[in-house]
Amino acid sequence: MAETESLADWMANLNEKFTKIPLSQLAIPGSHDAMAYSLDMDSSVLEPKKIKALDKMFSTFLRPIVKKWGTAQEKNISEQLDAGMRYFDLRVAGKPESSDLFFYHGLYTTMTVKEGMTELEKWLGQHTKEVVILAFSHFKEMSADQHTDLTNFLKEHFKAKLCPKPQVPSLKDCWESGYQVILSYDNRSVDDPVLWPGIEYWWADHSDPKEVISYLNNQKQKGRPEGLFVAGLNLTFDGNDMLLYLTKSLKEKTMTAYPLLLDWVKEQHSGSDKESVNIIAGDFVGVNSFAQDIIQLNNADNSH
């Protein structure tokens, strides 16, 4: 696969046998905290708790730190799609002073949910054989009415592109029916044929890549879920870490850890057996061989 042309349409270019199996048996690159590239320094701090409590008094000092540690991506949604991402971790929050909904990671994003989804829908219109999994979760400061408004907007926005649950489709199924979006909405109060439940995310909650790998291997031993699931390669730092490493950033820590994490990726395989992987999500996607290494697992020998 040549680097450039291929990843924007990698699903369209897959070997035919991989287009006939459920998406839960493919290796799929994903974006953790996908919208955390447009964080707003003028917004209040939503997390972590320790820093949120201090934000009122020390906002000019703290917000740049939260931004440095909250910025988990640097490519925008179209660039992430071009780079091969097909799973998007989307965290949404209401803002007391606004009728719009925003994404967030530590701080609110400058981009509204509607703007982000409009950009994504436009991209899908230009890449009709690509299928994305949108995982809405970790909702904050949202009323029941706002949930209704958001799900109505998403249904109206993606219309016939939405794949109904519960059978995980193959690419071929999606192509035949014109489906391009699996919409997971992790909120019990909302039920609809096109809103899939939350997708299991293996999250190590650790800042050391060795610990992340050991956690993921441990999860694999227990066996994978049957449907779609995510193995998270993302490192996690808390408020203490942020204040401890004032001169560092999430990007610096993540990029240093990537070689080790990508070695782990290359040892994985897709498929349906107990130890197979499915979606693998990371931070700062599109800046190294992350997507290429994951997509490659679909061309490897799958007879494990």
Name the band, by pLDDT with cuts 50, 70 and 90, for residue 304: very low
Question: Region 25-48: what's the mean pLDDT?
Answer: 97
Question: Region 17-44: what's the mean pLDDT?
Answer: 97
Q: So where are the chain's domains? A: 10-297
Torsion, CA 200, CA 206, CA 208, CA 211, rounded to 10 = -60
Structure tokens at 135: 């995982």
What CATH code is assigned to 10-297?
A: 3.20.20.190
Tens digits of per-residue pLDDT, 228-263?
Answer: 999 999 999 999 999 899 899 999 999 999 999 999
Asked whether residue 301 carries a pLDDT value surpassing 90, the answer given is: no
Would you state the pLDDT for residue 188?
A: 87
* pTM reported for the whole predicted model: 0.96
Tens digits of per-residue pLDDT, 277-295?
Answer: 999 999 999 999 999 999 9
Structure tokens at 125: 């219109």
User: What is the C-alpha to C-alpha distance for residues 301 and 46, in angstroms, rounded to an integer?
Assistant: 45
Would you state the pLDDT for residue 303?
A: 45
Question: Region 82-99: what's the mean pLDDT?
Answer: 97
- Catalytic amino acids? 32, 105
Would you state the pLDDT for residue 2?
A: 41
Asked whether residue 81 carries a pLDDT value surpassing 90, the answer given is: yes
Angle between helices 144-158 and 113-126 in degrees, nearest 10: 20
State the chain's mean pLDDT as an integer.
95
Tens digits of per-residue pLDDT, 120-150?
Answer: 999 999 999 999 999 999 999 999 999 999 9
Tens digits of per-residue pLDDT, 182-235?
Answer: 999 999 888 999 999 999 999 999 999 999 999 999 999 999 999 999 999 999
